[in-house]
Structure 1
């Protein structure tokens, strides 16, 4: 991994946390968890 890729990935992660704080009020992880649970149940249906 080059330094440029590491910096871009680091900024992306920091940006996601900043968006979570300012836009979603720290509720993004709850939203994503619920959507992942729905996806898991949907995938289990087709199994």
Structure 2
């Protein structure tokens, strides 16, 4: 994970947030179909 976040210039929090969002989208597609990724996770700046 450390290499991935460093290589893509993203923080670990953003990376983990995206993983959680993707997992929720796979598990609950009907609930998540109208929720964009930008509303779910707002990274700390």
Q: Which has the higher contact order (CA 8 A, sep 6+)?
A: 2
TM-score w.r.t. the length of structure 1 is 0.43
TM-score w.r.t. the length of structure 2 is 0.44
Larger C-alpha radius of gyration, 1 or 2? 1
